[in-house]
Copies of this chain bind each other. A is one copy, B any other.
Amino acid sequence: MAGELELRLRDRLAKLRGLHLPGSSVSDEVRRIEQQIEVMETGDERSEDEIWNSVELARHPERPYTLDYIERLISDWFELHGDRARMDDPAIVSGLGSFAGRTVAVIGHQKGRGDAVKRVKRNFGMANPEGYRKAMRVMAIADRHGFPVITLVDTPGAYPGVAAEQHGQGGALAASQATMARLLVPTVACVIGEGGSGGAVAFALADRVLMQQHAIYSVISPEGCATILWRDAGQARKAAAAFKPDAAHCLELGVIDGIIPEPEGGAHTDFDAAAIMLGQSVRSALEELGQVDAGELRRRRRARFRSIGVVSS
């Protein structure tokens, strides 16, 4: 697979290097492509076992969740609640806090850990439209006051409920992305567990999209895919191997900008170490982004997503 894509990327790289545009927007792009090619050259194909290992770790019931990272990385945390219209969706956590010496907004999906009651309370991290509307409200506050936005993506997907549909799930997911596309503050998205389809991408239209080493990011869950392909959710492992939702694959395809390492054995083995690694990646991304003028930041953010996809003619 890498063959054709690598040629394509090398071609694009040559073209970009030939351009002499003002500003450094091209050099960002160049670096991203170089990184992709590097991954292709050094990365061995990951086996079905390895990919499935990541799927299992990404959904490990003891994996650290959004609030675990907030607790370890953010001081003066103040959670903001409610969509100002209907409810406060507990599947999404949002708020302000201090990170690396400055105020940031953090928004993330939140799964419940432990018994069924706790997991149900957080609706397994599957948000309703009201949750995305709460997030947009917090993004607007961050934008007004110049706070960078950090999103932590960890959801099987947007909640497939009756009320969710009636209250405009699709529109809310689109509006959340549109809001992120309009922000004039630096934005970093980290997929920290399951990056499930529209529910994930609603928080991932960011200047930098990072994935933890064992996180997954895909258009459909392995089970959903298997159900469609074989009408058998049990074939999820095979489906995952086909769709490869793992971080290495996403980086190879240029969909994400970097991989955040996890402690040996996965993030759940050492919350503190995982948080430190996550914090370092986010911090250096924010430092880079802090150099860029707000309007240019937004222009590049949109251009980045505009460029993803492979077509021929």
Q: Which residues of B contact A167 (CB under 8 A)?
A: 85-86
Of A86, A172, A175, most B-chain CB atoms within 10 Å: A86
Does A234 lie at the interface of the complex (its beta carbon under 8 Å from any beta carbon of B)?
A: no
Task: Count residues of chain A with CB under 8 A from any CB of chain B.
Answer: 10
Judging by beta carbons under 8 Å apart, are A133 and B168 in contact? no
Render A165-179 as a binary contact track against B, CB cut-off 8 A, 1 for contact: 001100110010000
Query: Within residues 81 to 127 of chain A, which ones have a CB less than 8 A from any CB in chain B?
Result: 84-86
Does A193 lie at the interface of the complex (its beta carbon under 8 Å from any beta carbon of B)?
A: no
Q: Which residues of B contact A186 (CB under 8 A)?
A: none
Known: A84-B175, A85-B129. 5 other contacts (CB 8 A): A85-B85, A85-B133, A85-B168, A85-B172, A86-B86
Nearest opposing residue in chain B for A163, CB measure: B86
Judging by beta carbons under 8 Å apart, are B86 and A171 in contact? no
Name A residues whose Cβ lies closer than 8 Å to a Cβ of B.
84-86, 129, 133, 167-168, 171-172, 175
Nearest opposing residue in chain B for A166, CB measure: B86
Judging by beta carbons under 8 Å apart, are A171 and B129 in contact? no
Q: How far is B167's CA from A133's CA once the two chains are assembled, in angstroms? A: 14
Closest CB of chain B to A72's CB: distance in Å?
Answer: 34
Q: Per a CB cutoff under 8 Å, which of B84, B86, B171 touches A84?
A: B171
Chain A to chain B: the 4 pairs with minimum beta-carbon distance, closest first: A84-B171, A85-B168, A84-B168, A85-B167
